[in-house]
Amino acid sequence: MIGRSIGYASLKVQAIAWLVLARREAAERCFTEMLARWPDDAYALASRAHARAQRGARAAALEDSTRLVQRHPARSAADWFNHGYLLEHQGDIAGAEAAFRRAVALDAKLDRAWYGLGLALIRQRRFDEAVEALERNTKLQPMSPYGWYQLARVHMDRREPEQARRIIAHLKGFEPKVAAQLERETGLTG
């Protein structure tokens, strides 16, 4: 256990050093020590949640993430995005949707939160809303194939093959492998 005489700044520096050295468990112990002394510290909660998620302890990460967004609801859109991701992974799709919506309310330019929202809406079969979220994602991240791929799939679910065909043609210009995958999956050509 880390000595109690070490102050906040020292613990933070020590945790960062452990992370740089790829010693995640040692860094997590530092964050745990910080939280024992400063239970609602946003940095320590976010960092420990991240460390726990990376090692696969998603339930424990979700506990930290929940505490973080409850105690510091306006701190960061990224906090809400990460919370949504953890909720989605646990199967709480409605909770994930709410978290992604909170993230985009805090930062309308957080493209990955729009993408997460789109996926949550797809899983709830709310395709019209998913199109809106994925269109926001593709406007913010036009060269990423992920939003385009999901948007084409949603257009197929909505029985709009011409819209999906336009996306396939668009993807051929910068992601031909993804375009080819969509062609195989949908039977369409761009």
pTM value > 0.85 = yes
**What is the number of other CB atoms lying within 10 angstroms of the CB of residue 139?**
12
Residue 74: inside a domain: no
Average pLDDT on 139-165 reads 98
Residue 131: inside a domain: no
Residue 177: inside a domain: yes
Residue-number span of the structural domain to which 168 is assigned:
143-190
* Residue 102 CA to its chain's centroid (Å): 12
Coil vs helix vs strand at 3 = coil
Residue 125: inside a domain: no
Composition of the chain by helix, strand, coil, percent to 5: 75, 0, 25
- DSSP 8-state secondary structure symbol assigned to residue 40: T
* 113 in Cβ contact with 104 (< 8 Å): yes
Residue 73: inside a domain: no
Question: Tens digit of pLDDT for each residue in 29-82?
Answer: 999 999 999 999 999 999 999 999 998 999 999 999 999 999 999 999 999 999
Residue of 115, 120, 116 lying closest to 135 (CA atoms): 115
Residue 106: inside a domain: no
Residue 18: inside a domain: no
The number of distinct structural domains making up the chain is 1
Residue 47: inside a domain: no
